[in-house]
Amino acid sequence: MTKRDIFQTVLFLSILLCLYFCFSFHFLSLTKKDRNSKMQPFNEFIKSDPRIIILGDSHALNAVIMPILGAKYFSFAQGGDNIRQMFLKLDYAIQEKKNIRYVVIPGDYNIFSMYRNLNKDYAPDLLYAKNHVLISNLYNENHVSVILRAFFRYAPLATADDWEKYFFLLTNNQQTEESTNTNYEHLSQSEKEASSVKRVRSQLGNKIIQSELVSILDQFIAFCKKKHVKIIVVRYPFSKEYGYYAKKYPLNEVDAAFQARTSHFLTILNYENIFFARSHFFLNTDHLNDEGAKYFTEILKVDIENAISQDIKSISVLSGDLRYPMPVTKRGRL
Amino acid sequence: MPFNSLEYLIFFPIVAFVFFSFSPRYRWLGLLIGSYIFYASAKPAYVLLLFACTLINYLAGILISQAGTAKAKGFFLFIGIGGSLSLLILSKYLTFFTDSLKSICPYYLPACNLPDMSLLVPLGISFYTLQALSYSIDVYQGKREPEYNLGIFALYVSFFPLILSGPIERSTRLLPQFRKPISFDYNRVASGLRLMMWGFFQKVVIADRLAIVVNQVYGNPTEYKGISLIIATFFFTFQIYCDFSGYSDIAIGTARVMGYEVMNNFQRPYFSKSIPEFWRRWHISLSTWFRDYLYIPLGGNRKGSLKLYRNIMIVFILSGFWHGANWTFMFWGVLHGFYMLVSLWWSKIRLNCKTSLSNEGNSLVIKLVRVSMTFLLISFAWIFFRAQTLSDALYIATHLHVDIWYFLMNIGELGGGREVIGGNLGLNHFEFILSILLICFLCSVHMLQRKISLDAFISRQPTCIRWPLYYCLIFGVLLLQKPGTQEFIYIKF
């Protein structure tokens, strides 16, 4: 290798590095807003003083309107969250605030499914979570890779996902497959059924119970016990069509998993069929729209307050037979 | 450790560094260790099969050369071939054979419950078995002397750039290279890296993007019809090319960086004007292997028409079966054999007629028609290669035309998130257009390669053009890749 070759190689790599940094800065400027928006709930949380934490995925995110619930509550719900992320968020919340006494977790049918277990990327959690030991336990990763990943959170465009995101940002492209903002009521019956079949199949079709997630729930319960936090389980409403097609899958396995742990929950609230007759409350087959969320939040608030004030354990109502468990008076209000 | 993994991007520079740090006399040893580590990284137990195959052919080569009579030579060759093929059959085809027998005559084989070994198929076994066999046959045919150094022979079988998916090298070409002194050559290394980068681009950017549509449609073919099936089939035609050609380019580039020249595997196959020409340009290392070690020993075209047809069909059925233990591959092989026979008859008719058509054979329009016809036939055959079952393949083949006019009238709706026609193809509108543009880009590169190889073309450019090209390629790969590593298709074979 001649001196000229060495010089050329060094020059080539230097320019490559410069270009990489240029792209990185550009990426950072494009994602600054996004990062801020991801951190927004955590920044707001610091300013608040909640007693009840709501955790969950997009079902909880769409179904709960915070201003209706009031300052006692705080929602960390985010689309795609599974029990791992919920655990990390509760751990963070308890470390930051000492007044937390109750936590609301989802009891949906997909909570332990393969669909929910797909989200194994803890990079977003590194934005707030400092408990690297818990992360490595939950994600079954060794400590070194968690710390390395934590390092990479400060290095933009370090992962393939970052580059894909950059590509989408550059092309102003959004993956829109599931995020179409149409109202569910406007779909024809066949379209409703087709979307429900697809949704149910993707959520429940591939192994409805992942033992890995159930065991994390057990760890979660033990953690709550240790921290004197009581757990409230909520099954969020879904459409009639979703319910019909969901019944084709072994839902009793999910119910059994919850029933086996009933004694650890303050209460289990099942709202799966309360809006079966009200398709105009849905954004799509299993998410409420703003109107539905408004009604639902009011019901939820009353039930949680009741459960807390009485601090009694209601009998499990996760029967899987789609019976409405709530008092008739509440249905009447709708 | 697939080529498109982070592990390989770390592994390769380390091996290259160690390779050039070793004394030239012992470089093969470093490479052998690296190759076994590379192979064991998938599953250490696989190494046993690799070693068994190596040992069988090593001993067969020595015994063949030392045997006094032709009969004895033949016997040792038979042992070598039999031993290697039994490893292949046991690990890859046994489950298929027993399952097929059970389905044909369930009452006669009820007690035959062999363990399902389909998931235990060692990576690359079809490739390294053929490579090892070519050595034994070469020794038997007197094309080369046996290799007495077990280490070098083991390296020939396990050479890491080639072990998973070829190109299937010949002992006469590759083995002597392991004994040659190799020095660091900047231009050669640069050429190898260029080839690797182009291979990554083909695989990560084009093939993996097209794979989304193909997997979506071929995963549930009965949910689609008409244009969706056609699009997925055409996409697969390019996906498999980019996937395998990309792999081959990375393999050839890797070998070149370390100073070894490996045979080319593809020569713009989709620009072939006939099926025989396609097979001279597609997976060249396999098709020439079958030609040299099966077709010619069977008699080739020297023993009359009937035997010629028989030989062609044998070669293509075995070629199909070599790809995998599934009836779909078998059918794909039969279909290509049938194509070959029709091509032979057609060329005979053309020769006999000697009409003005033969004069027109060189005109651009005729060339275009022939290339298009060949491309369509090949794409049709890929349906059987890609489909998961024969019934899926038949469904696709019989539903390509359904509602085609309606689909063509609404073609603008394709790839628009919530699809109006053709179901969800897995890519949004922009990405769908991008996929088509990438295919056009690939075709343009192939057009360029008609006169000059891509490597030669780039290396002739001045630095002010060459370097920006490199940067475009590198950042193109990073920007346009699809995360969620798709494994190379041919690794499964």
**Hey, is the C-beta of A161 within 8 angstroms of any chain B C-beta?**
yes
From first to last of its 334 residues, what are the pLDDT tens digits of chain A?
A: 788 888 889 999 999 999 998 888 888 888 777 666 677 788 888 888 899 999 998 899 999 999 999 889 999 998 888 899 899 999 999 988 888 999 999 999 988 888 888 777 777 777 788 787 888 888 877 777 777 776 666 677 877 778 888 888 887 655 444 444 457 878 888 888 888 888 888 888 878 888 888 999 999 999 999 999 999 999 999 999 999 998 888 888 899 999 899 889 998 999 988 888 888 899 889 899 999 999 999 999 999 998 888 765 444 444 444 444 443 333 333 2
In a domain, B384, yes or no: yes
Report yes or no for ipTM above 0.90. no
Last residue of a domain, one of B129, B162, B183: B183
Domain boundaries, chain A: 37-332
CA nearest B204 in A: which residue?
A: A160
In a domain, B11, yes or no: yes
Domain match, B287 and B400 both? yes
Answer yes or no: do B184 and A167 touch at CB < 8 A.
no
CA nearest B434 in A: which residue?
A: A171
Mutate to test the interface with A, among B7, B197, B418 (most CBs of A within 10 A): B418
pLDDT of res. B492:
67
Strand duo A52-54 + A287-288: pairing: unpaired
Answer yes or no: do A176 and B479 touch at CB < 8 A.
no
User: Percentage helix, strand, coil, to 5, in chain A?
Assistant: 55, 10, 35
For residue range B393-451, what is the model confidence (pLDDT) as tens digits? 999 988 888 777 777 776 666 554 444 444 567 777 778 888 899 999 999 999 888 88
Last residue of a domain, one of B183, B202, B227: B183
Both tokens of A261, joined, read 């742990």
Stated pTM of the model? 0.72
Residues of A with Cβ-Cβ distance to B481 under 8 angstroms? 160, 163-164
Domain match, B54 and B123 both? yes
Answer yes or no: do B478 and A175 touch at CB < 8 A.
no
Answer yes or no: do A15 and B471 touch at CB < 8 A.
yes
Q: Which residue stretches of chain B have pLDDT < 50?
A: 119, 416-422
Place of tokens 């079954």: A140
In a domain, B223, yes or no: yes
Domain match, B399 and B283 both? yes
* B323 labelled catalytic: yes
pLDDT of res. A315:
43
Question: How many other C-beta atoms lie within 10 A of the C-beta of residue B275?
Answer: 24
Q: How many domains does chain B have?
A: 2
pLDDT of res. A300:
92
In a domain, B374, yes or no: yes
Domain match, B51 and B192 both? no
Answer yes or no: do B467 and A15 touch at CB < 8 A.
yes
Which among B424, B431, B481 has the least Cβ separation from residue A163? B481
Residues of B with Cβ-Cβ distance to A161 under 8 angstroms? 483
Architecture of domain A37-332: 3-Layer(aba) Sandwich (3.40)
Domain match, B67 and B92 both? yes
The C-alpha of A176 sits at a distance from chain B's nearest C-alpha, in angstroms, of 6
Both tokens of B110, joined, read 């009820």
Answer yes or no: do B479 and A173 touch at CB < 8 A.
no
Q: Which domain holds residue B104?
A: 6-183
Domain match, B86 and B174 both? yes
Domain match, B11 and B137 both? yes
pLDDT of res. A330:
38
**DSSP 8-state assignment for residue A237:** P
Residues of A with Cβ-Cβ distance to B470 under 8 angstroms? 12
Domain match, B395 and B262 both? yes
pLDDT of res. A296:
93
Answer for the pair A41, A54: CB distance below 8 angstroms, yes or no: no
Q: Exposure pattern of B430-458 as b/e (b: 16+ CB <10 Å)? A: ebbebbbebbeebeeebeebeeeeebeeb
pLDDT of res. A145:
73
In a domain, B359, yes or no: yes
Residues of A with Cβ-Cβ distance to B424 under 8 angstroms? 177
In a domain, B278, yes or no: yes
Q: What is the CA B210 to chain-centroid distance, rounded?
A: 18
List Cα–Cα distances, B307 to B300, B310, B312, B343, in angstroms: 8, 5, 8, 16
Residues of A with Cβ-Cβ distance to B417 under 8 angstroms? 176-177, 180
Name, in order, each residue with C-beta under 8 angstroms of B261's C-beta and a sequence gap of 6 or more. Answer: B173, B177, B255
In a domain, B485, yes or no: yes
pLDDT of res. A326:
40
Last residue of a domain, one of B149, B168, B183: B183
In a domain, B1, yes or no: no
